[in-house]
Chains A and B, each alone.
Chain A
């Protein structure tokens, strides 16, 4: 097996960039669905870093962790979208700036 041609650093750097883009999405977008999508982007960026380090150390534990992250992401999306639908039915809006539940 030859040494990897693309260095681990590059993958981790790309993963950091994607993660930051996801963070910006969470902080800046006001649409709840867009916020959820940004969270998915962040999870994927973390997965990319995990895969890169799994190859680096020749150890499958990182890939197993990606598997778990994917499962948890699926559960999170299911619950989160159900919440969004529930909120939309009561508030007629999914703009997270208008969702201040404690002020009535």
Chain B
């Protein structure tokens, strides 16, 4: 289906380009070019570049083509000059031969280039870091010596950042520690693949921290009354937990089953709404460890749940439930994604492009102004002709007088 559409619209695009080239009326050429631009906008939609498709229609097919048509009409140039006497007659065959050579070369490159089209078109890996380590008030986290999070307080999560694919050493340090000289609190090796969103969740205590690699799903749910949850068990005293909706360990209410300490669950879809969440120990004795009452689960957003334990100085402890939002990333090619990339990584090039536009504007003004200036000189000269032109023409002077212009 998509291929059929591609072939039809592609044929229209090529046909309109050819008609633009051979059309004798410049206005017709411009209109065929508009058709061609519309086809390109359609291809942008197919290539999940929705924002650019709209910009293509508005800027190219709209503004730029209006400019073209305006100039064609202004100059009265819609009827083209006869082109039967080109100054370079050899140019036609040379251009055609060059074009054919280029087409063959490009086709060969495309066919033999082994572009892997079966690979999924998904984004690079995203990572963030969550600090849920008891008694670690601020943490720095490094990936292969490059800092990905700094001064991360207990219960805080860093923003998602984009990384290249590959194998990384993840190391957690006490905040302010020098990674070159000091030993990390804990390290772990991890493979980052394309399209993954990983929350490195540090749990445990400062003396014995553990790094949990929680794979999250950033795509959001299809349902409007549900959210996607990844659960990390950071309760050191319990080996295995169940997470239950409500307070009874009813089979139907179990959200997450048998989650070991230091493990992360798969992303699970959970109904939204106001609810109590209980944690049961799983094993020989099945106890309700703690209930977190009246938790509002907002729909249409992902969350990372971390259950951990904090010990006080007097050896009492409290169970902590951290619900960290996993913001749904803007879809590939959407205005939000393009804008985010533009402002996050391409501010300087954008400023420079804006400068180029400004220079173009000034250049256009100067081109026009210069013309007006020349005209004024001509007009002044016509009003006050030079003295020799004002002198009466006699037979003697007539042969010497020439009118310059």
Contact between B49 and A66 (Cβ–Cβ < 8 Å)? yes
Contact between B364 and A51 (Cβ–Cβ < 8 Å)? no
Contact between B75 and A67 (Cβ–Cβ < 8 Å)? no
Evaluate whether A75 and B360 lie within 8 angstroms (CB atoms) in the complex, with A5-B2, A8-B117, A86-B368 already known: yes
Number of A residues near B (Cβ < 8 Å) is 74
Residues of A within 8 A of B26 (CB): 31, 33-34
Bound-complex Cα distance A58 to B126 (A): 13
Bound-complex Cα distance A103 to B370 (A): 22
Contact with B along A64-83 (1 / 0, CB 8 A): 10111011111111110111
Contact between A6 and B2 (Cβ–Cβ < 8 Å)? yes
Prevailing SS type, chain B contact patch: helix
Bound-complex Cα distance A81 to B364 (A): 9
Evaluate whether A94 and B99 lie within 8 angstroms (CB atoms) in the complex, with A27-B91, A38-B21, A64-B341 already known: no
Q: B5: nearest residue on chain A (CB-CB)?
A: A6
Task: Looking at the assembled complex, report how far the CB atom of B41 sits from the nearest CB atom of chain A, in whole angstroms.
Answer: 10
User: Any chain A CB within 8 A of the CB of B110?
Assistant: yes
Task: Looking at the assembled complex, report how far the CB atom of A40 sits from the nearest CB atom of chain B, in whole angstroms.
Answer: 7
Contact between A70 and B74 (Cβ–Cβ < 8 Å)? no
Contact between B87 and A97 (Cβ–Cβ < 8 Å)? yes
Query: Of the 9-residue stretches B65-73, B184-192, B241-249, which lies at the interface with chain A?
Result: B65-73
Residues of B within 8 A of A89 (CB): 371
Bound-complex Cα distance A56 to B115 (A): 9
Contact between A94 and B75 (Cβ–Cβ < 8 Å)? yes
Residues of A within 8 A of B342 (CB): 64, 67
Our pick among B43, B46, B72, B117 for the contact of A56 (Cβ within 8 Å) is B117
Our pick among A72, A79, A85 for the contact of B363 (Cβ within 8 Å) is A79
Bound-complex Cα distance A89 to B368 (A): 10
Bound-complex Cα distance A94 to B332 (A): 44
Contact between A37 and B95 (Cβ–Cβ < 8 Å)? no
Contact with A along B65-97 (1 / 0, CB 8 A): 001100110110100110100111001101110
Bound-complex Cα distance A48 to B56 (A): 11
User: Any chain A CB within 8 A of the CB of B63?
Assistant: yes
Contact between A31 and B80 (Cβ–Cβ < 8 Å)? yes
Our pick among B2, B122, B360 for the contact of A1 (Cβ within 8 Å) is B122
Contact between B367 and A83 (Cβ–Cβ < 8 Å)? yes
Contact between A12 and B110 (Cβ–Cβ < 8 Å)? yes
Bound-complex Cα distance A51 to B47 (A): 7
Q: B194: nearest residue on chain A (CB-CB)?
A: A58
Bound-complex Cα distance A23 to B33 (A): 15
Our pick among A25, A51, A81 for the contact of B52 (Cβ within 8 Å) is A51
User: Any chain A CB within 8 A of the CB of B20?
Assistant: yes
Our pick among A16, A55, A79, A82 for the contact of B47 (Cβ within 8 Å) is A55
Contact between B106 and A16 (Cβ–Cβ < 8 Å)? yes
Contact between A44 and B37 (Cβ–Cβ < 8 Å)? yes
Prevailing SS type, chain A contact patch: helix
Contact with B along A47-60 (1 / 0, CB 8 A): 11001101111111
Bound-complex Cα distance A23 to B10 (A): 18
Contact with A along B176-220 (1 / 0, CB 8 A): 000000000000000000110000000000000000000000000
Our pick among A36, A72, A88 for the contact of B353 (Cβ within 8 Å) is A72
Our pick among A6, A37, A67, A76 for the contact of B46 (Cβ within 8 Å) is A6
Our pick among A34, A48, A72 for the contact of B40 (Cβ within 8 Å) is A48
Bound-complex Cα distance A68 to B360 (A): 15
Bound-complex Cα distance A52 to B292 (A): 49
User: Any chain A CB within 8 A of the CB of B17?
Assistant: yes
Evaluate whether A18 and B360 lie within 8 angstroms (CB atoms) in the complex, with A36-B68, A72-B353, A81-B68 already known: no
User: Any chain A CB within 8 A of the CB of B346?
Assistant: yes
B:361-376 near A, CB below 8 Å: 361, 363-364, 367-368, 370-371
Contact between A28 and B13 (Cβ–Cβ < 8 Å)? no
Residues of B in contact with A (beta carbons under 8 Å apart): 1-3, 6, 10, 13-14, 17-18, 20-21, 26, 29-30, 33, 36-37, 40, 43-44, 46-49, 51-52, 55-56, 59-60, 63-64, 67-68, 71-72, 74-75, 77, 80-81, 83, 86-88, 91-92, 94-96, 98-99, 102-103, 106-107, 110-111, 115, 117-124, 194-195, 332-333, 337-338, 341-342, 345-346, 349-350, 353-354, 356-357, 359-361, 363-364, 367-368, 370-371
The 10 closest A-B pairs by CB, nearest first: A75-B360, A27-B95, A5-B2, A16-B106, A82-B364, A97-B87, A21-B17, A51-B47, A82-B367, A7-B117
Residues of A in contact with B (beta carbons under 8 Å apart): 1, 3-14, 16-18, 20-25, 27-31, 33-34, 36-38, 40-41, 44, 47-48, 51-52, 54-61, 63-64, 66-68, 70-79, 81-86, 88-89, 93-95, 97
